[in-house]
Homo-oligomer: A and B are copies of this chain.
Amino acid sequence: MSSRVALVGAGMSVFGTRPETPRELFAEAFREAVASVDRGFDAKMVQEAWIGSLGMGGYQLGNLGPFAAEAAGLAGVPVRRVENACASSGYALRDAYLAIRSGACDVALVGGLEKMNDLSKAHQRYWLGVSGDTEWERMAGLTFPGTYALMAQRHMHEYGTTEEHLVAVAEKNHANGALNPKAQFQKSVTREKIRSSAYVCSPLRLFDCCSTTDGASALLLASEERARSLTDAPVWILGSGAASDRLAVYERPSMTTLTATVAAGREALRQARLGPERVQLAEVHDCFTIAEVLALEDLGLCPKGQGGPFSESGATRRDGRRPVNTSGGLKSKGHPLGATGAAQAYEAFKQLRAEAGSRQVKGAQNALTHNVGGSGASCVVHVFGR
């Protein structure tokens, strides 16, 4: 058994509206991951693979595992799809990590893949909707923007959060995305433009919501021994925490706390022996701006109820004391559902190896990734360190 597991390589496709086939998108991410390993890596070293995908795109809805493995030139390797709504590749990372720790393999691939733009808008709504509660919420007309709008309304009621706080989150994430050559939206957006955009579902405006994105991501994991032979700059997985919650929001005790985030975050930080106050960088699941506010609080990165003012204060900016979503987040980098979790780890990998280019945060020694499925029914958190 290997006691430690490291990321030794990471890749992602450019996120956006991509005309390429899913096969090509995944191969693009995998090639970068392979090329990013410092020395002596051969794709044949991959012994097992876990592929995260919600399955959108009207293409390979079953058996996506072998489909992706084949696209990476890995036909033959044991592979499965891991599906946990938008937390799919975050859980794929967890399962690959556990498999290496079990001793079953010492080099593993984690992938994420989603092709959303091939579907009609109605089909997109359906596929997204089935990640929430069907019986009492979706069938009654509640969509994901609606769910998060309810959370935002309640947060405003309980804690005095304002729309301007949410504007600060959107502005910051777009400013970061502007520096990320893989992001779907590589441009800054002014506060005025954000606050004058149309309501999607009050209080959430267009710029409070993530987009429809095609994209793929790939991570190469290795046991400690293999990692040391492949690179001088392994990025260690210091902790992995996961939890679930009830699918239906109406059955939860609170609208302003995602209990799965609280539980997963605590476990990952416990394993990493890190208090939340010592987290230096975080990629959190900002499918909506209010989701970033909730994540900051539920992960303990700021006190409960203070996520709005904390964001407004600039603390989470790239030059703030606790940079959050330096990649641009789901908001600006894009959110190809099942590819997002591994793409968050890609950002941690780049930042901790000081390879993040113009969005590099100096000197970070650790990073946390937070990946949510549905409206909080699944959550997985990882902590990485140099």
A62 touches B102 (CB 8 A): no
Asked if A76 is an interface residue, CB under 8 A from chain B, the answer is yes
B84 touches A127 (CB 8 A): no
B246 touches A70 (CB 8 A): yes
Considering the chains assembled together, what is the distance between the CA atoms of A153 and B242 in angstroms? Answer: 48
Q: A65 is contacted by which of B98, B103, B244, B264 (Cβ under 8 Å)?
A: B244
Asked if A313 is an interface residue, CB under 8 A from chain B, the answer is no
Interface residues of A in 33-70 (CB under 8 A from B): 48, 54-55, 59-67, 69-70
Known: A55-B55, A62-B54. A77 touches B1 (CB 8 A): no
A62 touches B77 (CB 8 A): no
Asked if A198 is an interface residue, CB under 8 A from chain B, the answer is no
Q: A102 is contacted by which of B91, B101, B132, B260 (Cβ under 8 Å)?
A: B101
Considering the chains assembled together, what is the distance between the CA atoms of A131 and B135 in angstroms? Answer: 27
Q: A64 is contacted by which of B74, B83, B101 (Cβ under 8 Å)?
A: B83
What are the residues of chain B within 8 A of A69 when measuring CB–CB? 244
Q: A79 is contacted by which of B48, B374, B378 (Cβ under 8 Å)?
A: B378
What are the residues of chain B within 8 A of A70 when measuring CB–CB? 244, 246-247
Task: Please count how many residues in chain A sit with their CB below 8 Å of the partner chain's CB atoms.
Answer: 59
Asked if A119 is an interface residue, CB under 8 A from chain B, the answer is no
Asked if A168 is an interface residue, CB under 8 A from chain B, the answer is no
Asked if A82 is an interface residue, CB under 8 A from chain B, the answer is yes
What are the residues of chain B within 8 A of A244 when measuring CB–CB? 65-66, 69-70, 74-79
Chain B, Cβ-Cβ closest to A373: B63
Considering the chains assembled together, what is the distance between the CA atoms of A131 and B63 in angstroms? Answer: 5
Interface residues of A in 327-386 (CB under 8 A from B): 373-374, 377-378, 380
B127 touches A63 (CB 8 A): no
Interface residues of A in 255-284 (CB under 8 A from B): 259-260, 263-264
Asked if A134 is an interface residue, CB under 8 A from chain B, the answer is yes
A75 touches B131 (CB 8 A): no
A378 touches B263 (CB 8 A): no
Q: A243 is contacted by which of B77, B94, B247 (Cβ under 8 Å)?
A: B77
Chain B, Cβ-Cβ closest to A95: B95
Considering the chains assembled together, what is the distance between the CA atoms of A78 and B93 in angstroms? Answer: 13
Q: A99 is contacted by which of B62, B77, B84, B95 (Cβ under 8 Å)?
A: B95
What are the residues of chain B within 8 A of A373 when measuring CB–CB? 62-63, 66
Chain B, Cβ-Cβ closest to A378: B66
Asked if A137 is an interface residue, CB under 8 A from chain B, the answer is no
5 closest residue pairs by CB, A with B? A62-B131, A78-B242, A101-B102, A66-B377, A102-B102
Since A62-B127, A80-B95 are in contact, a sample of 9 more A-B pairs with Cβ atoms closer than 8 Å, ordered by chain A residue number, is: A60-B134, A62-B130, A64-B83, A70-B246, A76-B243, A76-B263, A79-B84, A79-B378, A81-B84
